[in-house]
Amino acid sequence: MQIATTIEEVRTLVKSWKKEGCTVGLVPTMGYLHEGHGSLISRAREENDKVVVSIFVNPMQFGPGEDLDSYPRDLEKDSAYCESLGADLIFHPEPSEMYTEGFCSYVDMSVLTEELCGLSRPVHFRGVCTVVNKLFNIVAPDRAYFGQKDAQQLAVIRRMVEDLNMDIQIVGCPIVREEDGLAKSSRNTYLSAEERQAALVLSCAVTCGQELVAAGETDAKKIVAQMKALIEQEPMARIDYVKAVDGLTMQQIDTVKKPMLVALAVYIGKTRLIDNFIV
């Protein structure tokens, strides 16, 4: 496995792979990898001849006061993990490599980015769309892999690829959870032991919502209300949002219909965690 820090290195290597007729899978990450990322890398390994994992804490998708500086980083551990899963290349650029002096071009989106996380993190998706677009241009993958935990991000990227006529297959992979149900996240490392226990309220709320749908509840507002009530019982939890939205447009809906995304963002102490389920 190789580690590249420049765009030129990546392009040179990928061009040589393409000349050999190899397919390329890309797994974009911000590093501090866990089993959720591992499931994406393993899926990419199964479906492609070559696998590229990008590890880049993208400053553009962090707003003022967010955790850019404190976001966990461990390239040595990440590299060993990627190699154990059969990755061929890690792309680990510096911000100055991705955003040269005078950088002023962005990929923006409306509608899908104006709900859920887009409301509380207004610059987030412009940063996501811009960096993912750049990664697609640099790596030129046949397939790119994203986790369902970031369901809005997955929908946004799928829409971007469709709207901009990109010849890339976007593969969504299921949420990977801890044994007790908490969705795997690099930000889980911020939680104290007490907060870690309190964080289980997110997956409990997801289970509650799923059970209501399975029981035949068709009123999305009732589902959301019961999920909120459950979360509010946890003193350490502060709700950012719990919403039922159309799975394609991210717009709020009142009646259960397919595809529906029920998504939540909750602060446990100072740590913002997300979870969701799809109908």
pLDDT in tens, 245-263: 999 999 999 999 999 999 9
Per-residue model confidence (pLDDT) at position 57: 98
The band of 46, judged by pLDDT with boundaries at 50, 70 and 90, is very high
- Give Cα separations from 65 to 28, 68, 74, 121, 239 (angstroms): 24, 8, 22, 11, 18
- Residue 37 annotated as catalytic: yes
pLDDT per residue as tens digits for the range 108-159: 999 999 999 999 999 999 999 999 999 999 999 999 999 999 999 999 999 9
Report if pTM > 0.85: yes
Residues in a beta bridge with 3? 90
**Which of 34, 37, 92, 124 is flagged as catalytic?**
37
The band of 13, judged by pLDDT with boundaries at 50, 70 and 90, is very high
pLDDT per residue as tens digits for the range 76-99: 999 999 999 999 999 999 999 999
Answer yes or no: are the C-beta atoms of 244 and 219 closer than 8 Å: no
Give the tokens for residue 119: 């409301």
Answer yes or no: are the C-beta atoms of 195 and 268 closer than 8 Å: yes
* Mean pLDDT of the chain, nearest integer: 98
Q: How many CA atoms lie within 13 A of 157 on its CB side?
A: 28
